[in-house]
């Protein structure tokens, strides 16, 4: 038995994505910066992909830049925002992904940037009144607000429409880590003004090692990586043509199947939630109870204290079931989840993140529930 329920960490590549990538690897091997026909083929493939991705967000092609993934994109927005836009203060939350928190730590140390972290409630939501209060207080400073669209561990969706409106009102830059929501939730940069947002292909059935940053045309940065003139002088280095093509295809397919996939995934999440409660009513859940305020792809379950908790993830792995105790980027650190610590005053028991994709089935959820009962009985 092999059941993969760690899709918030990475998703399986769709077979059609692999097909277009193989075709690109075979035919687009010329350097896209070369002027000959082989190079022009690669350049055409990149620009076709850029146009497709830009249209998905209502952006212009000049606002999409390809990167190695969400981590690079978030680093670029924050570090270059301080360097090139003169950002003096960053307002964020304590439950951001580590690539955001560590980037903020870096500019705090190297550039003397001031930081404020908004409080989050027990569901991981920010208080918009607190955000507005801080924006009012710091109107004389150049401020960047950095708040993720959805939390990667507990699934909490923040109201980026309201956040972007406040940033626009108080003339603050707005950066959002949208890695968990790109391809899963509609994002229109015309309806919700945003300066920077990030995406990573492997979160929506595309390849690893490729992503993008959306950069509003009114907040263009200088290069984060210096060298050649690739990406319109914004990111040096020969482009990952097949990866970019694969990412565009994955995003296109996700858009086509959005409603169907969302309904299927949500049904699996609710099936697992009901099954866990039927097994043990003392199990609780981290994140919002309302489905409309939480990622359909993530269910974070808080198991009560049990002698097998310390080895629980390993027991599941031995049975062929892949889940997570939190962010994959911090697994192995054995320090617990910084997110859970912020949303729970006390942290009894064990938090386990189950995350789903279109490839999971109701039968897999039943098998997972049976294994959990066997392990903890």
CATH of the domain at 297: 3.90.1150.10
One domain, residues 248 and 271? no
One domain, residues 30 and 158? yes
Last residue of a domain, one of 241, 256, 271: 256
CATH of the domain at 146: 3.40.640.10
- At 334 the pLDDT is 47
Our count of domains for the chain comes to 2
Q: Which residues are catalytic?
A: 329
- H/E stretch holding 214 reads strand 211-215
- At 333 the pLDDT is 44
One domain, residues 240 and 189? yes
- At 345 the pLDDT is 77
- At 325 the pLDDT is 87
What letter would DSSP give residue 211?
Answer: E
Beta carbons of 347 and 341 less than 8 angstroms apart: yes
Beta carbons of 133 and 166 less than 8 angstroms apart: no
One domain, residues 30 and 69? yes
- At 170 the pLDDT is 98
One domain, residues 78 and 169? yes
Last residue of a domain, one of 256, 283, 305: 256
One domain, residues 247 and 262? no
pLDDT digits (tens, 9 = 90+) for 95-132: 999 999 999 999 999 999 999 999 999 999 999 999 99
Among 255, 176, 244, CA closest to 210: 244
For 85, the domain range is 15-256
- At 303 the pLDDT is 96
One domain, residues 247 and 367? no
One domain, residues 319 and 342? yes
**Angle separating helix axes 258-279 and 241-256, nearest 10 degrees:** 80
Ranges of residues in the chain with a pLDDT under 50 are 330-334
Query: Is 278 exposed, middle or buried (CB count within 10 Å of its CB: 0-12, 13-18, 19+)?
Result: exposed
Predicted TM-score (pTM) of this structure: 0.95
């Amino acid at each position: 038995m092999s059941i993969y329920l760690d899709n918030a960490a990475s998703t399986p590549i769709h077979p059609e994505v692999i097909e277009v990538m193989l075709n690109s690897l075979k035919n687009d091997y010329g350097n896209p910066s070369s002027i000959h026909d082989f190079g022009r083929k690669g350049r055409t493939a990149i620009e076709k992909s850029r146009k497709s991705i830009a249209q998905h967000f209502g952006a212009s092609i000049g606002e999409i830049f390809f990167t190695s993934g969400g981590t690079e994109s978030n680093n670029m927005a924050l570090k270059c925002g301080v360097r090139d836009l003169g950002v003096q203060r960053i307002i964020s939350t304590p439950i951001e992904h580590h690539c955001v928190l560590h980037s903020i730590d870096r500019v705090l140390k190297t550039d003397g940037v001031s930081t404020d972290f908004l409080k989050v409630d027990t569901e991981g939501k920010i208080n918009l009144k607190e955000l507005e209060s801080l924006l009012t207080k710091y109107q004389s400073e150049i401020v960047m607000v950095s708040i993720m669209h959805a939390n990667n561990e507990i699934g909490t969706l923040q109201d980026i429409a309201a956040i972007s409106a406040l940033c626009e009102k108080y003339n603050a830059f707005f950066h959002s880590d949208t890695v968990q929501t790109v391809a899963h939730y509609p994002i229109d940069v015309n309806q919700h003004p945003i300066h920077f947002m990030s995406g990573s292909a492997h979160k929506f059935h595309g390849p690893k090692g490729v992503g993008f940053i959306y950069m509003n045309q009114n907040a263009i940065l200088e290069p984060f990586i210096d060298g050649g003139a690739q990406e319109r002088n914004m990111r040096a280095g020969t482009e990952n043509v097949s990866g970019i093509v694969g990412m565009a295809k994955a995003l296109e397919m996700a858009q086509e199947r959005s409603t169907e996939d969302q309904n299927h995934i949500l049904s699996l999440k609710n099936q697992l939630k009901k099954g866990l409660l039927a097994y043990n009513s003392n199990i609780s859940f981290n994140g919002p109870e309302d489905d409309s305020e939480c990622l359909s792809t993530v269910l974070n379950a808080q198991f009560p204290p049990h002698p097998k908790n310390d080895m629980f993830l390993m027991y599941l792995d031995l049975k062929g079931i892949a889940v997570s105790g939190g962010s994959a980027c911090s697994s192995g650190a054995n320090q617990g989840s910084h997110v859970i610590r912020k949303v729970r005053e006390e942290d009894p028991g064990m938090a386990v993140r189950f995350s789903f994709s279109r490839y999971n089935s109701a039968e897999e959820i039943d098998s997972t529930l049976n294994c959990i009962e066997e392990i903890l009985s």
